[in-house]
Amino acid sequence: MVDAVNRAYLEKQPSRFEFSIRGASERHLQAFVQPLPKSVGSNDVLTPPRVLILLEDHTRARRAEQLHRDFVANASHELKTPLASMTASIETLRGPAKGDDAAYERFLGIMAQQAERMRALVEDLMSLNRIELNEHIAPRDAVDLSLILEDAAALAEPGAKPGQARINLAPLPPDLSLRGDARELTQVFANLMNNALKYGGDGKQIDVVPAKVAPGSSRIGISVIDRGPGIAREHLPRLTERFYRVDVPVSRNKGGTGLGLAIVKHVLNRHRGELEIDSELGRGSRFTVWLPKDDAAKGRLEPSATALLQGLREDGLRGIASSDDKE
């Protein structure tokens, strides 16, 4: 920076360069240093030369690029593993296991399992993509949360009746009105119930109950509670990151893709909601989804794209804030 400023003063040369500041979190900046012409009629002796310095913070853009690169690398790796297993099975069936009926059954079983794993991964990747595309558009449909929870339980526990099965749905307060995207919210609760079934300890009951709120609160909370092994505290902040798992083999064995909670987070961002995770080792976990009630939602939700465009025409750029993506 000092060199660039000197060059601008002494040699009248502009510069443009990038640099990083290391600290608790690294920041990436771009600098433009430009000598300014003396203003017309100024006194050469008394007016000092002037230099314009412009600093742009590129930290967010850099982080987004890095996240994108990591995401592509992770997704490719996740697909490569089942693909390698399928290729190995085909080679075994064509070679050493040729004509062996028992091996035939076993390897076809492995191939079906790996194909299912790839299907689940591609489906989750597509869901995530679809949700991200719509994330800035607030959902407007009125939804019935009780129906959504019933559908989610049926999805999470295929073939079993939710009431009789291990998922226990508690009744919701009667005067509940919510705006949302029914399909996305069903996926949120199905993912949480599915996790509770996968990691919540075999045969143990899972409760889906309304969370306690202060009287007059403008939001509603639904908790999915399991009595499984729980999650150590250090993992909690990272659980909603794409492909983050506490135990990779356990997740894979249970058909996990590592994307379930990332999907939950993005759907809740769109709904101006929140996911709260409480867990204690040895006792179980509670995943609470918080959603704004309809009245509160009306005031807080961003205007629709049309209203926003109309506002832009009228007001220029005033009032448009960038959304804060913490990921």
Residues that bind ligand ADP (CB under 6 A): 191, 195-196, 199-200, 226, 228, 231, 239, 245-247, 251, 256-262, 285
Tell me the DSSP string of 173-215: PTT--EE--HHHHHHHHHHHHHHHHHHS-TT--EEEEEPP--T
Q: Smallest distance from the beta carbon of 104 to ligand ADP, in angstroms?
A: 30
Residue given tokens 């590129």 in the structure block: 58
Give whole-number Cα distances, 224 to 77, 96, 207, 217, in Å.
31, 48, 6, 20
Residue position matching structure tokens 């742009």: 56
Unique residue bearing structure tokens 């909690």: 236
Least distance in angstroms from the C-beta of 229 to ligand ADP = 7
Residue with tokens 């994108």: 68
Contact 88, 103 (CB under 8 A): no
The minimum distance between CB 211 and ligand ADP, in angstroms, equals 16
Toward ligand ADP, which CB reaches closer, 271 or 286?
286
When the beta carbons of 162 and 258 are compared against ligand ADP, the nearer one is 258
Q: Which is nearer to ligand ADP, 35 or 200 (CB)?
A: 200
Distances from the Cα of 37 to the Cα of 8, 9, 17, 48, angstroms: 11, 11, 21, 11
CB of 302 vs ligand ADP, minimal distance in Å: 27
| Residue nearer to ligand ADP on the CB measure, 248 or 307 | 248
Minimum Å distance from CB 72 to ligand ADP? Answer: 18
Closest CA to 4 of 50, 26, 28, 35: 35
Q: Which is nearer to ligand ADP, 200 or 292 (CB)?
A: 200
Q: How far is the CB of 236 from ligand ADP (least distance, A)?
A: 9
Q: How does DSSP classify residue 136? A: T
Instruction: Decide whether 93 or 263 has the Cβ nearer to ligand ADP.
Output: 263
Give the whole-angstrom CA distance, residue 272 versus residue 180: 10
